Amino acid sequence: MRSIHRTIPAALGVALLLSSGNHALAQTATVDVTVQKQYVRGFGGMVHIPWAGDLSAAERNLVFGNADGQLGFTVLRIAVPDGNTSTSSYVATAKAAIAAGGLVYASPWNSGGDMISSQFASYADHLESFVSYMKGQGAELYGISVQNEPDYGDWKHWSATAVHDFIVNYGDKISTKLMTAESFQYRKNMYDQLLNDEKALANWDILGAHTYGTSVRDFAYPLFDQKGVPAGKERWMTEHYTDSNTDANQWPNALNVATDVHNSMVEGEFNVYTWWYIKRSYGPINNGAVTKRGWCMAQWSKFVRPGFHRVDATKSPTSGVYLSAYRGDSDVVIVVVNTNSSSKSLTVGINGTSVSSYDRFTTSGSKSLANEGKVSVSNGSLSLSLDAQSVTTLRGTGSVNPSGSGGATGSGGATGAGGSTRADAGRDGPGASGTGGRAGPDVSADARDMGSSGGAEGTGGVVATGGTTNAGSGGSSATGGTSAGTGASAAGGDGGGGQVSGGGIATRTGGAQAGSGGASGAGGASQGSSTGAGVDSSNGCSCQTGRPAGGAEALTLFFALLVLAWYRRRVAVHRQSPAEGSQV
């Protein structure tokens, strides 16, 4: 009888080993092009001529063209002049973007101080004068925002109520699409009043947000889903960069951009993704050439074109792998980011399209949007091996079935890329001073250093006049939480609890985010529990929690049940035999 007891654990162990081995060999994701999410307007970046100069004619072709070796950007953000708006500075670059099929929008910075209601009328005239001038020059703006970062401190300060009141009373004076003020940290209290007041809601078109220091768990905005989406509003990510201290060609640091784009499109459901300076040592182009960060963005911008929709897909089929999918009238595009230091095998089941093969393009440490031939579809799925620390785009053309209504969040679990910590040392602006960034023309620093991959940038902190010291130190949370006002310091980026706002950056109160939910490390913090083929919340580990058993899993289960049935029968036989039972 003892031999029987020894046999059953061994047999079950073999069954479990077979099961775990099967999971290691192949992970499965699903894409359903019939389930539609948000509309995609495009991807692009900023030209701020007073601080970083303009693009040359050759650089405009490089950025907005979509031929081989070009980025295919379709979004350009420019600055509204603080004084005289009748300036031709931005006209040539704006025209180039529009001629290539892109759109142009503008954001005002303005001088410091508080915005008060007595200034509303003249301010509305100021915005409208720039709109009118650009239209008259043949470079019509798609939209204009109320204010760049009203809650940051260096620019004109607006309270949430002031933004609301301006839009209610003067929003209809602007003759192009009006964007809300753009919170530097996507603080929802800057937008809640605009969504909850029907009169305000009628007077704006686009929610603009920056995601500096925003935890991936805070990318979602249920109130916008409830009230903004049905009203036809869009949400745009209008400024972000992962760090400014690292050269844009440094790998795998540059891969953080791909994770950032993924999170913005999937977790934030943004219609637009806008990088900070297009031309910079840490930007998409530098010295007239596309950088690794630029190629990471191009994995989306060249293939996911204006008018596409994101569609339902397993967003994290295994730990460190992030997937999103998009469809046009006849195209299906799948983008997969592998942040792991080893290659990963992936099988993708695709529903709702007759596309039979996909062109594959990869950016990695040794590849820059390399065309790697075709991947064939067999029985509705395809298989591929993902290069270590890479981003891969699959583009197929064929029949695409009609899609359903959009707006909902995609299936699967979610994990962020670590959130980001912001070492605010001013950003190439007049009068900014700091020690953590790259010098711009006639200014001292570019330091909005995000440390997006777990807070790697900002270890030790960057001190800024009028800003904060923010020590990323691996992206772990602030123990106990810290309220940081002007010139204060914050240890870490993502604490639990609410935001405490002061004159500078706000941190969170409530202590470190360890254990359940996961600390924000190099792979990012897990965001709660998940169902489906997603990411579990326990310490940020990946867990396949809802995927139906395939053929190998079913065979393993059958084997285990067979062994168990055999064991029970042997026990029954032994219990019926007194002689054998006396030996037990």
What is 384-430 written as a DSSP string? Answer: EEEPSSEEEEEEEES-BPPP----SPPSS--B-S-----EEEEES-T
* Of 115, 510, 532, 92, residue with least CA distance to 323: 532
Q: How far apart are CA 583 and CA 29, in angstroms?
A: 53
Question: What is the residue whose two structure tokens read 């925003």?
Answer: 214
Q: How far apart are CA 442 and CA 284, in angstroms?
A: 22
Alpha-carbon distances, residue 71 vs 178, 295, 417 (angstroms): 28, 7, 24
Q: Give 166's strand partners.
A: none
Helices (H) and strands (E) in the chain, counts: 13, 27
* Of 37, 43, 486, 542, residue with least CA distance to 322: 542
- Report the largest interatomic distance among the alpha carbons of the chain, rounded to a whole angstrom: 106
- Look up 149 and say whether it is catalytic: yes
Contact predicate 410/29, CB 8 Å:
no
| Token code pair at residue 289 | 């050439």
* Of 414, 256, 406, residue with least CA distance to 339: 256
Q: How far apart are CA 507 and CA 461, in angstroms?
A: 14
Spot the catalytic one: 149, 182, 267, 269. Answer: 149
Q: How far apart are CA 475 and CA 525, in angstroms?
A: 9
Helix (H) or strand (E) holding 331: strand 331-338
Q: How far apart are CA 220 and CA 215, in angstroms?
A: 10
Q: How far apart are CA 496 and CA 492, in angstroms?
A: 12
Alpha-carbon distances, residue 192 vs 54, 196, 213, 225, 459 (angstroms): 36, 6, 20, 12, 34
- Look up 198 and say whether it is catalytic: no
Spot the catalytic one: 239, 267, 269, 457. Answer: 239
Q: How far apart are CA 441 and CA 448, in angstroms?
A: 17
SS3 sequence of 350-380: EECECCCEEEEEEECCCCCCEEEEEEECECC
Helix (H) or strand (E) holding 523: none
Contact predicate 212/183, CB 8 Å:
no
What is 81-109 written as a DSSP string? Answer: PSS-----TTHHHHHHHHHTT-EEEEEE-
- Residues with catalytic annotation? 149, 239
